[in-house]
Chain A
């Protein structure tokens, strides 16, 4: 099962997701990017049922892009997250629901604030200072309770993320070998090596 983390800091959101694509007990791929860049200041990490994930993520990506093209301005993080949540909530009561869990992180360029949303496949949404999906959540959330600082610099934020990844590497039976880490702040999205 895939693991994703995200945390906010002073003017930024860090989103991390493992890069393995597995089927049953076999690793099929070790460099899969599971974090989509939805708009210049919006990131979305997705995990869940293989097939559903990519299909749903691309549907969201294209609709957010369409909104951007039609209106010149992209949706701000709270509105985008709200629309994504609604898509999942509607899907839940359809004939074949998407089983996709999301972490949506963005930087609001109007209010200069970072936003992070925890969304699950039921359409449950909550704005949170830090979040995790998958088995990683059981290890990382308590660490983040202890070490997360909303006023932390990017370096400190990455150090906190490092702690989470190390704990997962130490204690989880099936450990992902690589993570992709993306940061969104006032300058937009960038990828960092960790």
Chain B
């Protein structure tokens, strides 16, 4: 029994053409016993950065609160919103602070980065539980279904997907991967982030 698999749950993020998507399941369990089918793991950090926190559920809540506090402090000191790449390093150092008694979370983040020309560039990243960052160009996965997510995403993802195609790719990847994992599933939600809006969709999934 691993502490990372105690509550279950998975998150995936994907890059598209001037858009990103991040999706998670909604299960909260106690090992094999399902407790809730409405446990959110993705949280908005700024208007265009979303953070997914799969792992031990107590740390999901604690870290969500920690990041809310740290981002509020950042906003007050800098008088601006944080940029995704800076945020990835904030996540990394927050986790590495607990190097020898870690938060049992593997964060996944997705956002749009403002370029000097004023355009928006898609950004995704993930870290391990002690904050080692993985800047990926295509997709990142984490959680109990991560091995299955890698397989499905590898098969379905392609470069420069338009927003609606990216949504479908991300949603289908998650839905089909969690069906092969007993600790993930029980419904899902997808955030599609484009330069002028963020669309949140809640999906029904298999309830077994």
Using a CB–CB cutoff of 8 Å, the interface residues on chain A facing chain B are 85-86, 88-89, 92-93, 118, 120, 122-128, 131, 137-138, 141
Contacts and interface: CB of A to CB of B under 8 A. Distances in A.
- Interchain residue pairs A-B with the least CB separation, the first 7: A123-B58, A126-B36, A124-B57, A122-B58, A124-B58, A89-B58, A89-B62
Interface of B: 7, 28, 30, 33-36, 38-39, 56-58, 61-62, 65, 101
B30 A120 contact: yes
B61 A123 contact: yes
B36 A93 contact: no
Contacts of A86: 62, 65
17 contacts: A85-B61, A88-B58, A89-B62, A118-B35, A122-B56, A122-B58, A123-B58, A123-B61, A124-B7, A124-B57, A125-B57, A125-B61, A126-B28, A126-B36, A126-B39, A126-B57, A131-B35
B143 to A, nearest CB: 16
Contact of A137 (B33, B39, B58, B61): B33
Contacts of A122: 56-58
A123 B62 contact: yes
A67 to B, nearest CB: 19
Contact of B35 (A85, A92, A93, A128): A128
Contacts of B57: 122, 124-126
Nearest to A123: B58
B160 to A, nearest CB: 38
A120 to B, nearest CB: 7
Nearest to A131: B35
A126 B35 contact: yes
A93 B58 CA distance: 11
Contacts of A125: 57-58, 61
A124 B55 CA distance: 11
B157 to A, nearest CB: 32
Nearest to A137: B33
Nearest to A118: B35
